[in-house]
Amino acid sequence: MLNFCPQCGSKLQSGFRFCPSCGGRLPEDLPEAAAPQPPEPHPHSVLSTVSAMEVDSAGDSSQSALNRPILHSTWRNTLSSPATHSLGEFKGVCGLKCIECCFISDKTSSMSPRKHKASPQVKDEEAKQTSSVIQSPCKMHFIEDRDCITFLYFRVCAVEPVPEGTVVCDQSSKKWKLVELLWQTELDLTYAVCQANQHGDSNDCKYMLRLGAKEGYLFNEQNFHLRAAKPDAVEKWLKLHKLDFLGIPSCVGFGLHEAYRFLVFPSMGDTLQTVMDEGNNTLSEKAVIQLALRLLDALEFIHEKEYAHADIHAGNIYINTDSYTEVFLSGFGHAFRFCPGGKHVEYRQGSRTAHQGNINFISVDSHKGAGPSRRSDLQSLGYCMLYWMTGSLPWSQLSQTSSAIAAEKERYISDINGLLSGHYKQKKASGALQKYLSNVMSLQYTEKPDYTLLKAGLHESLQKMGGSLKESLNLQVTHIPIFT
């Protein structure tokens, strides 16, 4: 019998304890619908597990191997995923009216990739996002409200580094050697890797490996690449649209290692977040427009494949540091199939976990728990462009709850001039950005954007600056006087 997640509506195999799509803990009794149950694959076969996945018409995946031990994980407090549960729901977990046993660490999560060896401190903006959470002696943070507990959680895995030199084997029996840990977040680890029969240091590695929880967001990302981003589909798109480059990374291998899942990609360079962290300032308008044009090409591709990215920010954007002309969009852990079979999903608040993704840049729809659509990605890109140009957003410097941030974003949807005017003091607001935001904020939930129009406006501004997409990105940070 197939079950359905009460939070996001994903189809689930019987026996699931956590939803692989939204990460939510499932109640014991779920609504059922009659459907044939596929044969269970060999528990140690990654390839059979993947081939046995059944992706439903809504784009959410079900995994058949369910009787595995629970991964060492923790529900860690952050403003990314608020929810309200009655006290009775958790009775029986530890025998008390609390969920202390579900929490292992109360350390605040940091969502931006960090250079492992540099270990920089968490930025002020990220610290302020969780400043409103009330500390408690328990392993959870909660705010008691009458007869229920409202708490803020985000399911993240206690990902601990795997020793460098470890060899992992993917689903095609290809072996990869972990050479150097490049970045680490509380969700995943990124290593420079090479094939096990090759020798060399991290500078010679032509591949990178992302490693995270077995049932975490990498499962959703793996499913996206298997369904929508195969190399032959990307190559066909390039020829059809006569493009010289498309920033969709190619997944060349995936598999399981102990309690982790991993994906292997050709090396994509450094994240844009790394550049921003090192410069600690803003990018030129010319560089931002070049980035946006490359990202719009990638978004148009995944939208045509019926998916929304749903978590666009600098940590999920890679720059090829060999040429500085190639921009990759990665991090498809929150990818959502908004148009299964050509039929757009209906707008329904609360159909997914609210506030998923980077809180500063997600769309208003994501804040409300509605399934992300094409306009969601384009809104997020607009917020990113404004932040890259000015170094701030109206809500990034305030200690607010996620709901307050969502309210600010919604207020500015119909006030583009107000959104821009507060960020430029001695410099005229970008006409290209203003035109882009005006077009994007007027989109309806199911409306298909005019990508040609959006890119034409940015191309026109880029040409006026004497720039083109063929030249290298000038990512040297600049300073624009702003006031907060």
Active site residues: 311
Element (H, E) at 299: helix 285-304
| C-beta separation of 342 from 328 below 8 A | no
Q: What are phi and psi of 217, to 5 degrees?
A: -70, -20
The owner of tokens 């998923």 is 356
204: amino acid identity, one letter: D
Which helix (H) or strand (E) is 33 found in, with range?
A: strand 32-33
DSSP-assigned states of every residue in 374-413: HHHHHHHHHHHHHHHHHS--TTTTS---HHHHHHHHHHHT
Do the Cβ atoms of 218 and 278 come closer than 8 Å? no
Does residue 25 sit in helix, strand or coil? strand
Strands 148-152 and 142-145: antiparallel
**Residues whose CB falls within 8 Å of the CB of residue 367, separated by 6 or more in sequence, listed in order:** 354, 355, 402, 403, 405, 406, 409
B/e letters for 230-252, b = 16+ CB within 10 Å, e = fewer, are eeeebeebbeeeeeebbbbbbbb
Q: Which residues contact 401 (CB under 8 A, 6 or more apart)?
A: 79, 132
Beta pairing partners, 25? 18
Q: How far apart are CA 458 and CA 453, in angstroms?
A: 9
Q: Long-range CB contacts (< 8 A, 24+ apart) of 99-103? A: 99/75, 99/140, 100/138, 100/139, 100/140, 102/25, 102/74, 102/75, 102/139, 102/140, 103/74, 103/75, 103/76, 103/138, 103/139, 103/140
